[in-house]
């Protein structure tokens, strides 16, 4: 049964990887490449190269594969063959899908709209890659390698530098300053959409309540909500008075009720509310629940 479940997860992951490639390839072939938008990454560099030779515009996917091959070889030493094989599989699938989709006519010739739609499609692709533990290589993989050599850098900083250099290079070589604006739109939209794919629509809030009436607030909240509450003892360092510190996580639609309860019991309470990317446990997703 264990082997069957493992095979099932691999097959499901592969199918979603293909869907991610279709989404990402649509971004490149139907929106970004036809509008000469260089948005960073190996694909962005491939778009730039294709723009310099008109006959190559239908082969952005193949150019992207060629750019990724030396990066994959470079990463083999540091990331291991299993990770690199998964990268190669994704890179090859993405390259083929991108060039197949290039046979279709572009869906818009407006740079802003192309950036928005391209960012959405790219975000869906990236979100699916990350969620199902695939990688499309490119600057992300190169960033992993460079941090091995330059210890003072982090992977996000490396990727940001590499992508930024490609975007600037595209704007200079194509003599199109607006490309930087379009690239920013793509990156912003893509980041937001990929985050949505990873975390879903069900956002939660982590609440920290500092009060002198912790028992009463906890009792009232527990009577009207399935959320658990943890109470700690704290000391205000300005007054050196002791206070109760309540920790709890609630869903967005329960936040208003929580604030009303706290206000009705202790108007002097201090509430800190933070966004929670993911919450696991009773009342939320189970700890052992995995991506389906």
The pLDDT tens digits of the residues spanning 91-138 come to 999 999 999 999 999 999 899 999 999 999 999 998 888 888 788 888
pLDDT for residue 119: 92
This prediction's pTM: 0.73
Lookup: tokens for 106: 């572009």
Burial of 204 (0-12, 13-18, 19+ CB in 10 A): buried
Lookup: tokens for 39: 């948005």
Query: Which helix H or strand E contains 169, and what residues bound it?
Result: helix 155-173
Cα distance from N-terminal residue to C-terminal residue, the chain: 17
pLDDT below 50 — which residues of the chain?
A: 292
Lookup: tokens for 4: 């069957």
Residue 227 makes CB contacts below 8 A (sequence gap 6+) with 221, 248, 249, 250, 254, 283
């Amino acid at each position: 049964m264990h082997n069957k479940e493992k095979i099932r997860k691999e097959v499901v992951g592969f199918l979603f990887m293909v869907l991610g490639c279709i989404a990402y390839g649509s971004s490149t072939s139907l929106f970004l490449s036809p509008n000469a938008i260089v948005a960073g990454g190996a694909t962005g560099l491939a778009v730039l190269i294709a723009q310099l030779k008109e006959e190559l515009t239908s082969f952005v996917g193949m150019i992207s594969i060629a750019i990724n091959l030396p990066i994959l070889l470079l990463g083999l030493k540091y990331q291991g063959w299993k990770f690199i094989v998964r990268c190669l599989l994704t890179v090859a699938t993405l390259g083929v899908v991108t060039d197949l989709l290039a046979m279709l006519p572009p869906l818009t010739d407006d740079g802003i709209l192309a950036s928005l739609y391209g960012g959405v499609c790219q975000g869906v692709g990236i979100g699916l890659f990350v969620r199902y533990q695939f990688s499309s290589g490119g600057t992300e993989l190169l960033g992993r390698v460079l941090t091995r050599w330059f210890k003072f850098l982090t992977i996000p900083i490396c990727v940001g530098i590499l992508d930024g250099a490609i975007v600037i290079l595209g704007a200079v070589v194509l003599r199109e300053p607006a490309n930087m604006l379009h690239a920013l739109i793509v990156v912003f939209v893509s980041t937001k959409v990929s985050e949505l794919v990873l975390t879903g629509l069900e956002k939660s809030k982590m609440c920290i309540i500092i009060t002198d009436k912790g028992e009463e607030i906890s009792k009232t909240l527990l009577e009207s909500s399935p959320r658990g509450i943890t109470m700690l003892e704290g000391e205000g360092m300005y007054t050196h008075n002791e206070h109760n510190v309540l920790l709890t996580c609630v869903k967005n639609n329960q936040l208003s009720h929580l604030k009303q309860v706290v206000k009705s019991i202790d108007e002097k309470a201090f509430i800190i509310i933070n966004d929670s990317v993911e919450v696991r446990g009773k009342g939320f997703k189970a700890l052992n629940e995995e991506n389906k």
